[in-house]
Structure 1
Amino acid sequence: MVKALVLLAMLLASVMVQASGRCQHFTASGNAEYPPYLWRSAQDPMVLVGANAMLMDYIAEQLGVSIDIGYVGPWGRTQEELAKGHIDFIAGAFFTEPRTKRMDYLYPAFQLTRTAVWVSEFRPFNYSQWQDLVGRQGVTVINNSFGQAFDEYAAENLTIHEAVKLEQGLRMLQGDRVDYFIYELNPGRAYASQLGISDVRPLAVPVSQEPLYLTMSKQSVCNTPEFRQRIEQVLQKAEQEKVMEGFLQQAISDWRESASTDLD
């Protein structure tokens, strides 16, 4: 019995040492079609850049650790990788109850985002509330959430198809295959501009305005109450210092530069 307890203690000590070393180096990812928040670097497509990547660098510096933020696949795949513990963080996710089963949300939120109904310039319609979408054909990007309240309403009342990529959703709207496209305002504008799509526009009334959170995998060996508290202290400091305002300004400039380079 004593020998077994000693072996157990040694095993636990070994795991703690391994976790301690592991918890100096982290991996993160996010929605790679999300400028100015996140997108794939033109220099290295396996690296994500943007305002959220800058925030992860800020957090890493404040904690004295390293965080590599890279591309692991489309948005749906990224959430699966987090659920399996293959990556530690998602740099930007809306809150939904189902997601809390596989990830811990870190507070406070670091950004408030606005989701719009996008329509064709040639086939606009009046929109002031969710009910105005009933009976119309919509599209959004697969595995996207726009806040739990809208997600639940849409599941019960709306017909919204799923596109693999943001560009596909915009092209479906442009080609009159759907009546509207649901997506966030800033990323939608960024991609429409880059793709030269000028005949779609967002309607004035938003679908939702949702806070954007940093989340951590429940399967991460580094996910402890103490470590989450340290991160949340950094997020509070970032909020007080308004660091995201500067990151967003820089990211918007970077995206415009990269988009103009792609068109050259």
Structure 2
Amino acid sequence: MSLPKRTLTSLVAGLLLVPSMAVLAAGKCERLVVTGSPDAPPYMWRDPQDPKHLMGANADLLKEAATQMGVKIELLYAGKRSQALEEVRTGRMDLLADTPLNSNELESLDFIHPAITQNEIMVWTRTGHAQPFNSLADLHGHPGVISEKTRITPGFDLAVKEHLTLEKQPNLTQAFQKLMLGQAEFVLAGRYAGMALTQTLGMSKDLVSQPLPLDRPGLYLALSFNSACNEPWLRGQLAKKMTELAASGRSADAISRNLEVWKAQLQQPASAAVTQ
């Protein structure tokens, strides 16, 4: 039995419309509003020349990926880390650009795998420190310091709380000063932030990092469940670009480049560079 002419016409029109609707769905997100930590150089920090925006290695890598995807992004300062998280969790902003993987946030954020960058948490000691500090067990019983802004993985955090007594300082500068004064035997700090600060503060001959990192926290892109842009095409494209970045070595180049930028800012008295 043949279909009525009007029904057949409607069906054909509907089938012709499906590809165009799919294209619209795939390209509906043209702009992402992104935020992140204002105090995590060289990965991300507040631009001293343009305080409304953020800069850093993660910012550069995300801009590169977004350009290839045909998506515009704006990296905005949203306050301290907890405020940035809240802005994205509620959907007022779309994406966090440098967040550690946190199981507590899985109900509100889609974490994009793999990580956009990785940090290495090193043991920093005074030059000539006799005892090797190559493992968590080596640090047991020795006084140490960590900056409140240093982010570590949840598993390593639990191990540290169980086995070590660490004094927390507001930032890495003060943590290193404790080490220089002999008030601690070691500092747990990121490889690159430690390198920049010891060089800038004139401590590079006095403080060194031990050879082996104790922790490698990944920094992820995390898309809000409440973002209008949270749909399969965007998540898939971001995951594809992060996989390509991980295989290319461009992350290391971006980190090195931004490390030099941050060091230059620290050496400018009038700048608003943030110490970690």
Q: TM-score range by the shorter chain?
A: 0.7 to 0.9
- How far, CA to CA, are the matches of 1:141 and 1:81 in structure 2? 24
> Is the 2:122–2:188 Cα contact (8 Å) retained in structure 1?
yes
- How far, CA to CA, are the matches of 1:240 and 1:138 in structure 2? 35
> Is the 2:58–2:116 Cα contact (8 Å) retained in structure 1?
no
Are 1:214 and 2:221 matched, yes or no? Answer: yes
> Is the 1:35–1:190 Cα contact (8 Å) retained in structure 2?
no
Residue 72 (structure 1) aligned to one of 78, 91, 106: 78
Are 1:227 and 2:234 matched, yes or no? Answer: yes
- How far, CA to CA, are the matches of 2:97 and 2:200 in structure 1? 23
Return the offset for 1:150: 0.9
Return the offset for 1:262: 4.1
- Most deviating of 126-135 and 53-62: 126-135
1:1-264 equivalences under 5 Å are 23-121=29-127, 125-142=131-148, 144-198=150-204, 199-262=206-269
Q: Kindly, what percent of the aligned residue pairs are identical? A: 26
Superimposed CA distance per residue, residues 44-72 of structure 1 (whole angstroms, 9 cap, x where no aligned partner): 23322222111121122123222222333
Task: State the structure with more CA Rg.
Answer: 2
Return the offset for 1:31: 3.0
TM-score by length of 1: 0.77
Return the offset for 1:240: 4.7
- How far, CA to CA, are the matches of 2:247 and 2:134 in structure 1? 34
* Change in 2 beyond 3 A, CA 1:260/1:244: same
Structure 2: gaps spanning 5 or more residues: 1-24, 272-276
- How far, CA to CA, are the matches of 2:120 and 2:44 in structure 1? 16
* Change in 2 beyond 3 A, CA 1:218/1:158: farther
Q: How many residues align?
A: 246
* Change in 2 beyond 3 A, CA 1:167/1:88: farther
Structure 1: gaps spanning 5 or more residues: 1-18
TM-score by length of 2: 0.74
